[in-house]
Amino acid sequence: MNKKEKNQGPLVKGLNFSEKMISYIAMLFLIIMILIVSTTVFTRYVFNYTFRWSDEVALLMMIWFGFIGLALGVKNSIHLSIEYFMSLIPDKYQKCIYQLENVLVGFFGWFMLKYGYQLYMRTKATRLPATQWSRGLLFIMLPISGVLVLLYSLGKMFNFIKQKETKTAAVAKDEDDKGGN
């Protein structure tokens, strides 16, 4: 354990652990999706046969992978943003705008949690045609991803997660890095 990890509180450690876990889960979903789609294409063209469940399971993996990626994007600040316009704004206002961004993304996570759960509850009793799994499995990732987005946004608001740097701070860091080499 390095010095940086020792100084982190349990909340930061929990957020970092959740990021690692969902990253591994996302990789697993991606691998499963690739294997299913590749097998389906192979069997379709070589044996003129497809597994009837393959499309549903691949779709499920794609949906889950997408929503996990959304939560990871919020944690790592790699979601869509227009940095050009932020570079035109003075530094003292950039921090406020980044905080406003965190608040808005947090509200988005809350809406995903609330309405995703309602959607899950309304669809969990119906069945997917090929696998006979609950249709709610397609939508359960909405509230799960909503919780993660909300937690990561709150972590950024209260500085448990590293924020984006202002343009002046980024330039100063670059100059320090160049001067140290």
3-state SS, one letter per residue, for the chain? CCHHHHCCCHHHHHHHHHHHHHHHHHHHHHHHHHHHHHHHHHHHHHCCCCCCCHHHHHHHHHHHHHHHHHHHHHHCCCCCCCHHHHHCCCHHHHHHHHHHHHHHHHHHHHHHHHHHHHHHHHHCCCECCCCCCECHHHHCHHHHHHHHHHHHHHHHHCCCCCCCCCHHHHHHHHHHHHHHC
Q: Please check the confidence at residue 180 and state whether its pLDDT lies above 60.
A: no
Nearest to 124 by CA among 105, 143, 150: 143
Quick: pLDDT tens for 123-173. Answer: 999 999 999 999 999 999 999 999 999 999 998 888 767 665 554 555 555
pTM across the whole model = 0.79
Alpha-carbon gap, residue 15 to 75, rounded angstroms: 9
Give the residue extent of every domain in the chain: 9-174
* pLDDT attached to residue 177: 61
* pLDDT attached to residue 174: 57
